[in-house]
Amino acid sequence: MPEARTAPSAAPLPANELQRKETRQQINDAIAQLPPVHRAVIVMKEFECLQYNEIAEILQCSIGTVMSRIYYARKKLQVLLRDLYENL
C-alpha cells in the first residue's frame, strides 16, 4: 500500500517570513528618508497604483513634474537600498 503524502504547506517558512518583514522594514525606512515631494509620488505610484495624470491632478502639477519626481525618488531609493539588493 503506498504511503500517504501530505501537500506542502502554503504558509511561508518562519525564516522566510522574518526576512520578508526585515526587507519590508528596510524599504519603509528608505521611503521615509525621501523628501516629502518624492515620497508622495512614490507612494501614489507604487503603492496606490495611480497613473501619472491622476498623481498630477492630486498634486496640482504637470505630468512632467510627476515623472521627474518619480525618477529622482527611484534613483534615491536605489542608493538607499543598494545593500539590500546586493544581498538578494
Residue 37 has pLDDT above 80, yes or no: yes
The band of 35, judged by pLDDT with boundaries at 50, 70 and 90, is very high
Judge whether 80 lies within some domain: yes
Using CA atoms, how far residue 25 sits from 13, 28, 31, 67, in Å, is 18, 5, 10, 26
Judge whether 87 lies within some domain: yes
Q: How far apart are CA 40 and CA 31, in angstroms?
A: 9
Instruction: Give the residue-averaged pLDDT of 23-33.
Output: 94
Judge whether 23 lies within some domain: no
**In this structure, what CATH number is given to the domain that contains residue 67?**
1.10.10.10
Judge whether 30 lies within some domain: no
Q: What integer pLDDT is reported at residue 19 of this predicted model? A: 86
Instruction: Give the residue-averaged pLDDT of 18-25.
Output: 89
The band of 59, judged by pLDDT with boundaries at 50, 70 and 90, is very high
Q: Name the percent of the chain in helix, strand, coil, to the closest 5.
A: 70, 0, 30
Judge whether 8 lies within some domain: no
Retrieve residue 81's grid coordinates.
537600498
Total of domains in the chain: 1
Domain boundaries, position 81: 35-88
